[in-house]
Amino acid sequence: MNEIMIVDDELAMVEVLREFLTPLGYRVGAACNGNEALERIRRERPRVVLLDVRMPGMGGVEALLRIKEEMPEVAVIMLSAVHEDELARQCMKMGASDYITKPIDLGYLERSIMATVCP
In CATH, what number is assigned to the domain containing residue 105?
Answer: 3.40.50.2300
Question: Average pLDDT in the 36-53 region?
Answer: 95
Residue 111 above 90 pLDDT? yes
pLDDT in tens, 18-37: 999 999 999 999 999 999 99
How high does pLDDT run on average in the chain? 93
Give the range of the structural domain holding residue 9, as residue numbers without chain letter. Answer: 3-117
- Structurally, the chain folds into a number of domains equal to 1
Q: Is 13 helix (H, G, I), strand (E, B) or coil?
A: helix
**pLDDT at residue 119, rounded to an integer:** 60
Residue 77 above 60 pLDDT? yes
pTM of the model: 0.95
The CA distances from residue 60 to 71, 78, 86, 118, 119, in Å, are 15, 8, 15, 24, 24
